[in-house]
Structure 1
């Protein structure tokens, strides 16, 4: 694998992560617990959609096969997506969505902070824009984790169960392969061990303040770097890709 192929794989992976998470959060539109939170979740979803667009556009350029960002989003099958499984899980309830979002926000902040120093100018530019957004996302999800964790007995139990159920999906966020090794040597990709240390610290501090128990590390889901997913991604793609599959090259 050469540097260009590694950069394509890496950028595609980041774009898939943002795209599928955006789709899940968009499902809250008109279903939020109250209007202000409905708007907040929708805006966060749009932030990730914007990140996905920038990343998939860059991935298409790197690939050099004439494909566009839309082609990458709408004309790939499940095994050709490389997002972590946690972003494709159904929303379930508000507490589950908040727990997942906090887990991801605590990852996004140190990751994009590190990526702003990337030797690749395009990735650094995307990260410089994204970091402003994900810092707000982390403040938002942290606030809700504390409110639900230190709220009523029911809210505490439900968000604790959400963290317990989600924990086995967190390991995939920090998985690395040959792509990461090549790009780290070039100063393009950050060291995931350092990101994990920051993530651990944030998780510990906020969960403690929320009177929640951090789940113990045990067996972790794996396989996203090989395109292995839950059954839920297929349903997402069936909905998201319907128009382009039914009417290829359709234009507004």
Structure 2
């Protein structure tokens, strides 16, 4: 049984239970190179989105939303810690080294999670699209033949179930609310929609990881079916906009203009005081 199986939450941080490289070593040892690259992609997605959501603490429209979005951000940081620790085991690098001491071109996150928060409607539109995708991803990844990835997916899925429910409730509330709330959530959907294709883009890496990784293209049908159903319930239209161009090698160096700003805020303290502990 995985060492993670006894933990209540992917983000539970208490004495003796914190996620460490030693935990990963006990469950899966050193990740093969291709597996590490795959884990890095998923970890970077979670890390970038957690940074975006953390901005809303003290700025959300309701006090309860300050707490809710903060908790979702913490969940995503927990997922990132698992995945970056596992990825780093292949290269002798810690989760902190991967998070704080890579440059922007070395990250492998999709552009959707890097997009501006905008107003609350725009943030909820992004959160709904990504959490619906992530739910299908982790559901499938539970069957991975890599025991560590399967264990991470199993723990993360329990939290993503809440993430998507939270986003769906806000989609309904805004879509069926006032004329202004409907306009804002619809505008948010139009803003985020061009970055959907990248979520479902296969890479040569997936060919190397048959049975280990989840091929993103296999998630499109179910994800979009559920998204479309929710939008119909909220009386919102499915955006009809062109998709942003995807490079020949998705996630391999192509990134949004916003990534550098996210990293500048996230990394400056660690780089100012490298190796500091507290």
In 2, Cα distance between the equivalents of 1:76 and 1:222?
23
Residue in structure 2 matching 1:199, options 212, 223, 231: 223
Secondary structure, counterpart of 2:209 in structure 1: helix
The question of 1:76 aligning with 2:94 is answered no
Partner of 2:51: 23
In 1, Cα distance between the equivalents of 2:191 and 2:139?
28
The number of aligned residues is 246
Moved more, 13-22 or 213-222: 213-222
Secondary structure, counterpart of 1:222 in structure 2: coil
Partner of 1:53: 81
In 2, Cα distance between the equivalents of 1:29 and 1:162?
20
In 2, Cα distance between the equivalents of 1:87 and 1:193?
18
In 2, Cα distance between the equivalents of 1:230 and 1:192?
20
1:49-79 alpha-carbon deviations (Å, 9 max, x no partner): 000001000001122xx21110000000111
State the TM-score, normalized to the length of structure 1: 0.94
Secondary structure, counterpart of 1:67 in structure 2: coil
The structure with the greater share of residues assigned to helix is: 1
1:118-144 alpha-carbon deviations (Å, 9 max, x no partner): 000000000000110001111110010
1:79-98 alpha-carbon deviations (Å, 9 max, x no partner): 10010111111211110010
Partner of 2:170: 144
Partner of 1:95: 121
Residue in structure 2 matching 1:85, options 102, 111, 114: 111
Partner of 2:17: none
Does the aligned pair in 1 maintain the 2:125–2:171 contact within 8 Å?
yes
Partner of 2:64: 36
Residue in structure 1 matching 2:268, options 242, 248, 251: 242
In 2, Cα distance between the equivalents of 1:219 and 1:22?
24
Superposed displacement of residue 221, structure 1:
3.7
RMSD: 1.3
Partner of 2:6: none
Residue in structure 1 matching 2:152, options 114, 126, 139: 126
The question of 1:154 aligning with 2:180 is answered yes
In 2, Cα distance between the equivalents of 1:173 and 1:164?
16
Does the aligned pair in 1 maintain the 2:201–2:217 contact within 8 Å?
no
In 2, Cα distance between the equivalents of 1:88 and 1:165?
13
- For structure 1, which runs of at least 5 residues remain unmatched after alignment? none
Superposed displacement of residue 193, structure 1:
2.7
Partner of 2:27: none
Residue in structure 2 matching 1:11, options 39, 43, 58: 39
Partner of 2:214: 190
State the TM-score, normalized to the length of structure 2: 0.86
Partner of 1:176: 202
